[in-house]
C-alpha cells in the first residue's frame, strides 16, 4: 500500500519497504521523521520545507475548496533532484503530488491525503528560445506569462494563454493539458508540445527535447503526459512550438438577443474569419458580478441576453492581406453581418482591448468573492449548447435551492465553465446533476481543468471500463509503485 491512502486531510503516512504496508492512521511522528530524512538525503536539505506557515500556500488550492496536509514540501532545483526524490519515494512507497503554480481548479495539485508535495517551481529557467526553429525549451516551473514574454522578446508568440498566466507554470499546463483563451486558433497545450523531459514513477528520466518537427520514432510521450495530471511522470522541461508574431489585433464585445444567437455568431465568425483567435460566451449575471466585484462600468448600453467576446488578429491596416484592412475593420464588417446583434464595442488599441477582455478574464476572481465555488468545465456540441445553458441553472436549483450558477466559457469549442456558489454541503450533488446533463448530451465532463480529485468518481460517465482498464495498465507500467498522484484521475478501486 502506498502511504497516502487514508481519508482526505490526513497527515503523511509512514515508511515501509513492502507493498501492502500499514494504513496511514498508524502514522507516528517517528515515521514522518523517517520520510523527512529520506527526502533530505535525496536533495539538498534546504529544498525540504516543513514550516507550517510556508506550507500553507502549497496545501490549499486557489478556490479554497481543496485543502490538504503534508509533512513536507520539496522544492528541487533541477531534474536530477526531482529524479532523486521520486526514486526515494518509489523505494519507500511514499506518495507524492507534483505541483506547479497551484492554480489548478480540480484539486489535482493538492495533497488531500497527506502526500508529499513536490513543487516544480524551482525549475524556472528559460533554457532556449530557438528563433530559427520557432521553438523554445523551458523548465517546468516557468510561468506561462514568462514564456510568452520570452517568445515576444524574440518576435514570436506562445499559443496558450490564460487568465492565471502569471502563476500557472508551463509544467502544470502540460499536466492538465490546459486550453485557455485561444484554443480556437492554436489548439490546447498538447498541440504545442514537441518534446518533454519527465521523471517516471521509478525515478528514471525520459528526455526528448530536440524539437524535430517531424519525428515518428515510436510512442509520442508528450501526448501521453499531457493531461496525465502527474499520474504517469513528473514533467521537468518541455520543448514547445512558438507562433508567428501577431502584427495587429482587435477585440469586440458583442451584446446579442439570445444564447442561440451567440452560439450561431461564434460559428459564423469561426468559419468566416481566418484570423479569429478567441470567442468567449458570457451571460448577464456574470457580467453584473464582474462589474460589481471589479468596479467596472457597463461594457455596452443596456443589458443583453448573451455576450460574445471575440478577438481577431491580422495584418496592421495598410499591410498586404485582407485588401489592406486591419483586424478592426474586418471585425466591424463581420459583426454587422451577424444575426441578433443588439450592441457592440470594438477596440484595437491595447488599453481598449484589455478593458474589454477584463469582463471575461475577471469572471474567476469575481465568482470567488461569492464564496467557495464548485467548478466544472464541460463541453457539449454547439447544437446542444443552448439547451444545456438553459437547463443547468434550473437543474442546480433543484438540488441546491440557495445556490447561484455562473456560466461562461470558450463557446467556439462548446466549452462551458459551470461555477456554482452557495452550494456548501451539496457540492457533489450539484456536480452529479450537471455531469449527467453533460453526459446525456454526449459531452465531456472535463475539458480544461482535468479530472483531479474532484471528478474521478464520474470518469465512467465518459470512459468505458475497457478504457479505464487500459489507463490503469499504462499507469502501472510508468509508475509501478503507484506513488505519483495516486488519488487523482482514475476512480478509486
Question: Which residues of the shown chain bind Zn ion in the complex (CB under 5 A)?
Answer: 448
Q: What is the DSSP letter of 39?
A: H
Query: What is the rounded distance in angstroms from the CA atom of residue 267 to the CA atom of residue 345?
Result: 20
Contact 351, 278 (CB under 8 A): no
237 binds, among ligand 2HG, Zn ion, none (CB under 5 to 8 A by kind): none
Convert 82-106 to b/e letters by CB count within 10 Å (16 or more is b).
bbbbbbbbbbbbbbbbbbbbbbbbb
Q: In whole angstroms, how close is the CB of 364 to Zn ion at the nearest point? A: 8
CB 359 within 8 A of CB 401: no
CB of 269 to ligand 2HG, least distance (A): 19
By beta-carbon proximity to ligand 2HG, the closer residue of 5 and 364 is 364
Residue of closest CB approach to ligand 2HG: 364
Contact 200, 239 (CB under 8 A): no
Nearest approach, Cβ of residue 490 and ligand 2HG (Å): 23
**Binding flag, residue 417, ligand 2HG (CB under 6 A):** yes
Partner whose footprint covers residue 182, from ligand 2HG, Zn ion, none (CB < 5 to 8 Å by kind): none
User: CB of 365: closest distance to ligand 2HG in angstroms?
Assistant: 9
Q: Given the complex with ligand 2HG, which of 188 and 197 has the nearer CB atom?
A: 188
Contact of residue 485 among Zn ion, ligand 2HG, none (CB under 5-8 Å per partner type): none
Q: How many Cβ atoms sit within 10 Å of the Cβ of residue 51?
A: 8
Task: Give the integer Cα–Cα distance in Å for 344 and 72.
Answer: 52
User: Closest Cα partner for 106 from 227, 189, 9?
Assistant: 227
**Which entry of ligand 2HG, Zn ion, none binds 419, CB below 5 to 8 A by partner kind?**
ligand 2HG
Report the partner that residue 163 touches, choosing among Zn ion, ligand 2HG, none (CB closer than 5 to 8 A by kind): ligand 2HG
| Site for ligand 2HG, residues 292 to 331, rule: CB under 6 A | none
11 part of the interface to ligand 2HG, by CB under 6 A: no
Tell me the C-alpha distance between 182 and 187, whole Å: 7
Count of positions on this chain that bind ligand 2HG (CB under 6 A): 8
Minimum CB distance to ligand 2HG smaller for 13 or for 427: 427
Which of the choices ligand 2HG, Zn ion, none does residue 488 contact, using the CB cut-off of 5 to 8 A by kind? Answer: none
From ligand 2HG, Zn ion, none, which one binds at residue 112 (CB under 5 to 8 Å depending on kind)?
Answer: none
Q: How distant is the alpha carbon of residue 399 from its chain centre?
A: 27
* Owner of C-alpha cell 516544480: 120
Q: Do you know the residue count of the chain?
A: 493
Quickly tell me which residue has 520543448 as its cell.
239
Query: Closer to ligand 2HG at the Cβ: 326 or 373?
Result: 373
One character per residue 374-393, x = contact with ligand 2HG (rule: CB under 6 A): -x-x----------------
- Residue 364: CB minimum distance to ligand 2HG, A: 3
* Smallest separation, CB 259 to ligand 2HG (Å): 18
- The DSSP result for 243-268, as a single string, is EEPP-EEEEEEEEES-HHHHHHHHHH
187 vs 321, beta carbon nearer ligand 2HG: 187
Closer residue to Zn ion, CB minimum distance, 329 or 448:
448
Contact between 364 and ligand 2HG per CB under 6 A: yes
How many angstroms separate the CA atoms of 74 and 171, rounded? Answer: 16
Q: At 52, phi and psi to the nearest 5?
A: -55, -35
Does 447 participate in binding ligand 2HG (rule CB under 6 A)? no
Residues 105-124 that bind ligand 2HG (CB under 6 A): 105
Return the number of the residue (304 or 417) whose C-beta is nearest ligand 2HG: 417
Indicate the residue among 12 and 290 with the shorter CB distance to ligand 2HG: 290
Cβ nearer to ligand 2HG, comparing 407 with 481:
407
Cα–Cα distance between 98 and 129 in angstroms, integer? 26
**Pairing outcome for strands 135-139 and 73-74:** unpaired
Angle, CA of 137, 139 and 145, to the nearest 5°: 85
Helix (H), strand (E), coil (C) string for 348-405: CCHHHHHHHHHHHHCHHHHHHCCCCCEEEEEECCCCCHHHHHHHHHHHHHHHCCCCEE
Task: Work out which of 102, 176, 404, 419 binds ligand 2HG, going by CB under 6 A.
Answer: 419
φ/ψ of residue 253, rounded to 5: -110, 120
Shortest Cβ distance from residue 298 to ligand 2HG (Å)? 21
- CA distances, 459 to each of 281, 430, 451, 489, 491 (Å): 26, 16, 8, 8, 7
**Site track 263-292 with ligand 2HG (rule: CB under 6 A), x = hit:** ------------------------------
Closest distance to ligand 2HG from the beta carbon of 376 (Å): 8
- Asked if 403 and 421 count as a contact pair (C-beta separation under 8 A), the reply is yes
User: Minimum Å distance from CB 223 to ligand 2HG?
Assistant: 21
Nearest residue to Zn ion on Cβ basis? 448
Neighbouring CB atoms inside 10 A of 10's CB total 19
Q: Kindly tell me which of 163 and 344 has the beta carbon lying closer to ligand 2HG.
A: 163
Residue 320, Cβ density class (10 Å: 0-12 exposed, 13-18 middle, ≥19 buried)? exposed
How far is the C-alpha of 409 from the C-alpha of 239, rounded, in Å?
28
**Binding residues among 136-175 for ligand 2HG as defined by CB under 6 A:** 163
Positions that interact with ligand 2HG (CB under 6 A):
105, 163, 364, 375, 377, 417, 419, 448
Amino acid at each position: 500500500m502506498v502511504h497516502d491512502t487514508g481519508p482526505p486531510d490526513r497527515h503523511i503516512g509512514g515508511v515501509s519497504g513492502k507493498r501492502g504496508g500499514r494504513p496511514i492512521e498508524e502514522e507516528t511522528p517517528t515515521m514522518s521523521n523517517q520520510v523527512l530524512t529520506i527526502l533530505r538525503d535525496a536533495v539538498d536539505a534546504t529544498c525540504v520545507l516543513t514550516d507550517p506557515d510556508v506550507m500553507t500556500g502549497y496545501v490549499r488550492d486557489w478556490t479554497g475548496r481543496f485543502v490538504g496536509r503534508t509533512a513536507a514540501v520539496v522544492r528541487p532545483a533541477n531534474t536530477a533532484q526531482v529524479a532523486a526524490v521520486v526514486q526515494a519515494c518509489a523505494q519507500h512507497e511514499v506518495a507524492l503530488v507534483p505541483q506547479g503554480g497551484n492554480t489548478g481548479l480540480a484539486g489535482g495539485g493538492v495533497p488531500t491525503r497527506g502526500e508529499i508535495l513536490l513543487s516544480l517551481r524551482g525549475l524556472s529557467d528559460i533554457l532556449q528560445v530557438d528563433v530559427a526553429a520557432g521553438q523554445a525549451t523551458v523548465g517546468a516551473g516557468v510561468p506561462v506569462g514568462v514564456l510568452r514574454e520570452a517568445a515576444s522578446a524574440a518576435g514570436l508568440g506562445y499559443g496558450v494563454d490564460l487568465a492565471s498566466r502569471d502563476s500557472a507554470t508551463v509544467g502544470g499546463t502540460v499536466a492538465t493539458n490546459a486550453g485557455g483563451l485561444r484554443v480556437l486558433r492554436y489548439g490546447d497545450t498538447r498541440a504545442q508540445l514537441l518534446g518533454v523531459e519527465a521523471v517516471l514513477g521509478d525515478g528514471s528520466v525520459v528526455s526528448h527535447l530536440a524539437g524535430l518537427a517531424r519525428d515518428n520514432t515510436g510512442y509520442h510521450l508528450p501526448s501521453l503526459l499531457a493531461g496525465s495530471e502527474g499520474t504517469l511522470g513528473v514533467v521537468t522541461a518541455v520543448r514547445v512550438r512558438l507562433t508567428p508574431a501577431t502584427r495587429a489585433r482587435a477585440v469586440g464585445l458583442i451584446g446579442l438577443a439570445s444564447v442561440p444567437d451567440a452560439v450561431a455568431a461564434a460559428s459564423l465568425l469561426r468559419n468566416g474569419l481566418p484570423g479569429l483567435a478567441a470567442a468567449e460566451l458570457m451571460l448577464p449575471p456574470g457580467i453584473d458580478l464582474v462589474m460589481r466585484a471589479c468596479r467596472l462600468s457597463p461594457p455596452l448600453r443596456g443589458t443583453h441576453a448573451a455576450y460574445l467576446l471575440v478577438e481577431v488578429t491580422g495584418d496592421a491596416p495598410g499591410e498586404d492581406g485582407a485588401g489592406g484592412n486591419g483586424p478592426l475593420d474586418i471585425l466591424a464588417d463581420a459583426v454587422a453581418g451577424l444575426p441578433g446583434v443588439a450592441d457592440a464595442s470594438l477596440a484595437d488599441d491595447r488599453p481598449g482591448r484589455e478593458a474589454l477582455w477584463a469582463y471575461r478574464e475577471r469572471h474567476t476572481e469575481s465568482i470567488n468573492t461569492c464564496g467557495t465555488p464548485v467548478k466544472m468545465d464541460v463541453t457539449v456540441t454547439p447544437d446542444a449548447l443552448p439547451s444545456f445553458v438553459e437547463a443547468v441553472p434550473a437543474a442546480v436549483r433543484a438540488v441546491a435551492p440557495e445556490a447561484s450558477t455562473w456560466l461562461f466559457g470558450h463557446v467556439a469549442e462548446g466549452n462551458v465553465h459551470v461555477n456554482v456558489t452557495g452550494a456548501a454541503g451539496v457540492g457533489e450533488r450539484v456536480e452529479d446533476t450537471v455531469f449527467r446533463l453533460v453526459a446525456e448530451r454526449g459531452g465531456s465532463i472535463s475539458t480544461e481543468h482535468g479530472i483531479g480529485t474532484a471528478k474521478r468518481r464520474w470518469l465512467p460517465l465518459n470512459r468505458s471500463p475497457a478504457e479505464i482498464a487500459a489507463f490503469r495498465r499504462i499507469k502501472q507500467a510508468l509508475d509501478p509503485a503507484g506513488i505519483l498522484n495516486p488519488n487523482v484521475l482514475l476512480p478509486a478501486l
